[in-house]
Amino acid sequence: QVQLVESGGGLVQPGGSLRLSCAASGSIFSINAMGWYRQAPGKERELVATITSSGSPNYADSVKGRFTISRDNAKNTVYLQMNSLKPEDTAVYYCNADLKRAIWSYPTNYWGQGTQVTVSS
């Protein structure tokens, strides 16, 4: 079965940095787009950043200039480097991948369990 496992979350002070990682494992033929989403208490889940299989990124306006998304296709892993963190960045961050399990199948979305990021003094 396909699994996405996030790591790297934690507690940091405003202005600090964190690096999130998400590794996909299991029966995978190919991975198309990957991305990061977040959900704060009382709010809907929102897109943070996505990246295509060729490495083209897309960011939410709220994180542009502060966050960087990247991927290592050989490791089926996507990263999110978060700098200049603000209290409003506090949320559970979820990894997402659009992938095919076989050459004859069509793409399906998978989600990780999430990792907590807390920015506070």
Contact assessment for residue 111 and residue 95, using Cβ atoms and an 8 Å cutoff:
yes
Confidence at residue 115, expressed as pLDDT on a 0 to 100 scale: 97
Q: pLDDT of 62-107, one tens digit each? A: 999 999 999 999 999 999 999 999 999 999 999 999 999 999 999 9
Distance CA 79, CA 23 (A): 9
Provide the phi-psi class of 76: left if phi over 0, else alpha when psi is between -120 and 50, else beta.
left
The Cα–Cα gap between 118 and 121 comes to: 10
